[in-house]
Structure 1
Amino acid sequence: MIRNDLFLAIFVMAIWGFNFSMIKLGITEVHPLLATAARFTLAVIPAIFFIRKPNVAWRYLFAYGLVFGVGIWGMASWSITAGLSSGMSSVLLSSNALISMAVGIFIHKEKASMRKVIGAVTALVALLVLISATNGNITLDGLMFIMIAASCWTVMGMIVKASQTTQAFAFNVWGMLFAPIPLVLFAVSLYGPGIIWHALDVWDFNTTVAVVFQAYPTTLFGYWVWNRLLIRYPLSTTAPLTLLVPVFALISGYFMYDEVLNIAQIVTCILFLIGVGLIVKPGREMKQEPMSAKLQES
């Protein structure tokens, strides 16, 4: 990867990592489902008027919007409200690599290389130690929500693969069209229409800044750059870069919210990311693909 592209890629990973702190900023007063709905509304409008619909069936776009909006980012945001630190939310979301690998082996009967098996065992053991060594930055409810988000990431990958799209950015934008309404309906079904009026009452400057950051630098700019890099370089070059996202998330969580890890968590975070790295790094036999295996952390 040439130097300018490498710097740009690292910059996007920093944005995606910092995004978890911005999520926390935006859901201090507003329910995470509604804040996430606002994020995707801004990301879609007006971008969708300038980007042609990808050549896929509407059902794939609807399914993508539902899973990406509610299943992944609705639940990931809710996990922070439920007591998970912003940095730990990013780390645990990376467990989607373990889930995807398990689905591939046990459902699709795929074969796993020794490198991937070693990576999975390392990541799984580290994950269990990481959870048990909590210093209050992991809660049961928060863990439940982030595991739902990680599982939905695997489902999202299956939807993208089934659609057979080669227009990753357009697919992402048009799919997000179907995220806001299910998020709002889900919130209303749980708390009643009053949740919307409450959000309007408590909406403040911090919420606006957080939502705008998630919509434009994180979602639109981040995906635009990322998909350009996927076209130019093989996955073996680009995929490992996504492991920088949890690192930047932990750093920003420390400086913005004084989120601190104990020694055991620092060690296990490193081992966990090493294990995930062994899983996500494609083998030499894999050819470059125009579509990301997963539309990474945003």
Structure 2
Amino acid sequence: MRPRDLLIAVGVAAVWGFNFVAIDAGLRHFPPLLFSALRFALAAFPALLFVGRPQVAWKWLITVALVLGVCKFSLLFIGMHAGMPAGLSSLVLQSQAIFTMLFAVLFLRERPRPVQLAGLTVAVGGIAVVATRMTANLTAFLLVVAAAACWGVANVATRKAAPPDTLRFMVWVSALATGPLLMLTLIVDGPSTGLAALRAVNTEAVLALLYIALISTLAGFAGWGHLMRRYGAATVAPFSMLVPFFGIASAAVLLGERVHTVDVIGGALVVGGVLLGLVRARRPALVRVGA
């Protein structure tokens, strides 16, 4: 990998890691569902006017929009709003690799190699270790795990869609997710709650929204898609394992979150297990979307 592209890979991981701090900031001002709806609305418009028509079947666009845009991010935002720490969320969300493998076996009839099963076992052990620290708020932890499971389904659906342009794909996914999310926030939170949040918006809320919509989603996927096209998923995918490092580090520095020994042990097992599954992969790794 060229030095410039190496910097892009690490930079995208850093952007996606810091994303959890931005989410934490935004959730102080917006209800989770409204925040998610605004994120996708801003990521879709006006970009939708410039990216051109979708290059994949509508059924896959709609599937990914509902599973990734609506379910995954709603569960993540609600989990973090319920008390799941930002840094720990960035780590637990990497369990999506576990669910991606499981769903690929179920729906794509892929046969995991022994080393992948070993990595899966190690990663599951890491998630179990992390869970021991969240016994006081197990609901928030399970919501983020459920978000990771939705991400796994979205990865398999994206594999079936095989989008030639990841950025264009994400813009259309964002556009299709916006409507259902707005309806959900109206039903769950009510119009008055959303209007009150919009009236009380401040600079921190706006910056958080701009960051997760424009930098994390659009710029992040533009860079990631460039690397995927040039080097392939098997080479690029391992760089996503840097996301928890940047997520935990930025949460510790900017939010004052304490890094526990349990987090380090569990994180090492999760990341190590996922990387073990990538050793001498004979097939391209599944394209992963949504950080």
Give the residue type in structure 1 aligned to 2:5. Answer: D
Give the residue type in structure 1 aligned to 2:167. Answer: F
**In the TM superposition, what are the counterparts of 1:1-298 in structure 2 within 5 Å?**
1-106=1-106, 108-134=108-134, 139-279=137-277, 281=278, 283-286=280-283, 293-297=287-291
* Matched-pair contact (CA < 8 Å) for 2:103–2:153: no
More helix by share: 2
TM-score (norm 2): 0.93
* Matched-pair contact (CA < 8 Å) for 2:103–2:156: no
In structure 1, C-alpha distance between the alignment counterparts of 2:28 and 2:142, rounded to whole Å: 20
Identify which range, 16-25 or 60-69, moves more after superposition.
Answer: 60-69
Identify which range, 8-17 or 264-273, moves more after superposition.
Answer: 264-273
In structure 2, C-alpha distance between the alignment counterparts of 1:176 and 1:105, rounded to whole Å: 27
- Deviations along 1:1-24, whole A, 9 cap, x unmatched? 011110111111101000000000
CA RMSD of aligned residues (A): 1.9
Report the secondary structure of 2:176's partner residue.
Answer: coil
* Matched-pair contact (CA < 8 Å) for 2:99–2:153: no
Count of residue pairs brought into register by the alignment: 291
Indicate how the Cα distance of structure 1 residues 6 and 98 shifts in structure 2: closer, same or farther if over 3 A, else same.
same
Report the secondary structure of 2:163's partner residue.
Answer: coil
TM-score (norm 1): 0.91
Identify which range, 63-72 or 175-184, moves more after superposition.
Answer: 63-72
Unaligned runs of 5+ in 1: none
Deviation at 1:271, TM superposition (A): 1.6
Give the residue type in structure 2 aligned to 1:294. Answer: R
- Deviations along 1:44-92, whole A, 9 cap, x unmatched? 1111111111233333322222222211222212211010000111111
* Matched-pair contact (CA < 8 Å) for 1:187–1:195: no
Deviation at 1:282, TM superposition (A): 6.1
Indicate how the Cα distance of structure 1 residues 262 and 98 shifts in structure 2: closer, same or farther if over 3 A, else same.
same
* Matched-pair contact (CA < 8 Å) for 1:71–1:149: yes
* Matched-pair contact (CA < 8 Å) for 1:119–1:277: yes
